[in-house]
Structure 1
């Protein structure tokens, strides 16, 4: 199980990330673009993910992943259940979501890719 504190510890290491509490929800963003957000009860996490790949992700692991609300389907976004997420997978998902919203040079600089 992953906690908000564990995600926060990772997000703080990612350049340009800022943390915000918006309507009782913890969100991490770059500028005005949110790349990770938690539900109010902190049991689920939404994160940036390519639209064209999210259906396959949800089908592959329906106990872990689910689609966002209908109003958020227009965004590059998918959600997961924190109780089923391990630390390694969280690190991959959060880092990839961050990579989607930062300039490429910064992602390459930070991740060496």
Structure 2
């Protein structure tokens, strides 16, 4: 996957907009971080993933999911785009979007989807 693939998926959802964070491209929902591209150009930082779930993702798919010491105490997982598959990333991304989007946007999306 690429960041453009992630953009294509997420921009189809209400309330998602392009932005930037720490000088890299990001996607935001109502000014809150959905994901951002890390400086290496191949990793996404995705907040909203509780540490126990993050640990399970890292253990089950260490080539795709990881975290660094910097993120150890944050509910964030890092995703290697070059190793990721849409069917793995999209559900996580959608769930995080649902937690950030307005209730109306989620209702409207569910009604048409």
Instruction: Give the TM-score range, shorter chain.
Output: 0.7 to 0.9
Alignment of 1:43-82 (within 5 A): 43-51=42-50, 52-70=52-70, 72-82=71-81
- Counterparts of 1:49 and 1:42, CA distance in 2: 21
Q: Which runs of 5+ in 2 are unaligned?
A: none
- Counterparts of 1:75 and 1:104, CA distance in 2: 25
Is the Cα contact below 8 Å between 1:46 and 1:78 reproduced in 2?
yes
Alignment of 1:5-24 (within 5 A): 5-24=4-23
- Counterparts of 1:64 and 1:85, CA distance in 2: 6
Would you say how many aligned residue pairs link Structure 1 and Structure 2?
111
Say if 2:53 is the partner of 1:41: no
What is the SS of the residue equivalent to 2:94? Answer: helix
What is the SS of the residue equivalent to 1:62? Answer: coil
Q: State TM-score, norm by structure 1.
A: 0.80
Q: Which moved more, 1:21-30 or 1:102-111?
A: 102-111
Is the Cα contact below 8 Å between 1:36 and 1:97 reproduced in 2?
no
Q: State TM-score, norm by structure 2.
A: 0.80
Name the counterpart of 2:85. 86
* Shift in CA distance, 33/69, structure 1 to aligned 2, threshold 3 Å: farther
